[in-house]
Structure 1
Amino acid sequence: MVMVRLSRPDDAARIIEIWRGAVDATHDFLTASDRRELDELVCGFLPQAPLWLAVDAQDRPLAFMLIDNGHMEALFVDPVQRGRGLGATLVRHGLTLHPQMTTDVNEQNDQAIGFYQRMGFIPTGRSERDTEGRPYPLIHLQYRG
């Protein structure tokens, strides 16, 4: 059984492990240099961020989501756990808190775009660069159920 809870300081190492595994499995479009820079940036802030976690019966984190002012900044699932509905569980939880939730997804990540569209998100715009100014276009999405 999967539960959703807020992250705690002792979840930090597992959160980074999930992030690294998920990025390696889904973000093959990143250059090695950008991947290293992102890793350093994420390791600096993610463990302290207020995350929603999907955890198993032993309270082990399997996936996480970060929402800031109604915008989902991150959703990452342990690649071993993909396809079990963990991402959908977290998104549905986020929608109970923020019914008009928005998110951005890398244009090169077709699987993520399809996932969000199946969840009821629609495209509202596009940016040529990611939030750090890198040449990875973003698709802006908003939940419309």
Structure 2
Amino acid sequence: MPKIRPYTPEDRDRLVEIWHQASRVGHPFLSAQDLSEQKVLVRDIYLPKAENWVATDAGEAVGFIGLLDCFVGGLFVHPSAHGRGVGRALIEHAAEVKGQLEVEVYALNVGALEFYQRLGFIQTGIRNSDDQGRPLQLVRLTRPHRE
């Protein structure tokens, strides 16, 4: 089971690498240029603005979750750690800290949609373009607070 700890600035480069590797797997519909542009945003804007929690295995960061209040701005697990409960542990930790959780997922990222649904998230909306204006549908999901 991974250990979860708060983010420190020293984690930045490793988390950007985790984001990049996980995005290549989960978002194959994004071009290399799209990922390159997003990488700068992740490093310079998203990580500094979010409340980040890092999952470690044997002391090495293998995944992270970035929270904006109760909104999951990002959940990324290095592909080498997929299927080992890292994502689930991060979601459960975030739920303990925040209660209700919300997230938006690319509709084309079927694996992520199924992951969130297995963890009790329900679809609450759809938008037809992403934050960069690309015509990629985003599904909004909510997981109610559990007592």
Name 1:55's counterpart in structure 2: 56
Asked if 2 retains the 8 angstrom alpha-carbon contact of 1:16 and 1:46, the reply is: no
Name 1:118's counterpart in structure 2: 118
- Deviation of 1:61 (Å): 0.7
Name 2:7's counterpart in structure 1: 7
Supply the distance in 1 between the matched residues of 2:46 and 2:127 (Cα, whole angstroms).
24
- Counterpart mapping for 1:45-124 below 5 A: 45-48=45-48, 49-58=50-59, 60-124=60-124
What stretches of structure 1 move > 6 A for 4+ residues in a row?
Answer: none
Asked if 2 retains the 8 angstrom alpha-carbon contact of 1:9 and 1:47, the reply is: no
Give the TM-score normalised by the residue count of structure 1: 0.92
Name 2:23's counterpart in structure 1: 23
Give the TM-score normalised by the residue count of structure 2: 0.91
Q: Which moved more, 1:73-82 or 1:26-35?
A: 26-35
Supply the distance in 2 between the matched residues of 1:50 and 1:100 (Cα, whole angstroms).
15
Q: Gaps (5+ residues) in structure 1?
A: none
- Partner amino acid for 1:52? W
**Once superposed, what is the RMSD of the aligned Cα atoms?**
1.4
Between the two proteins, the alignment pairs up a number of residues equal to 144
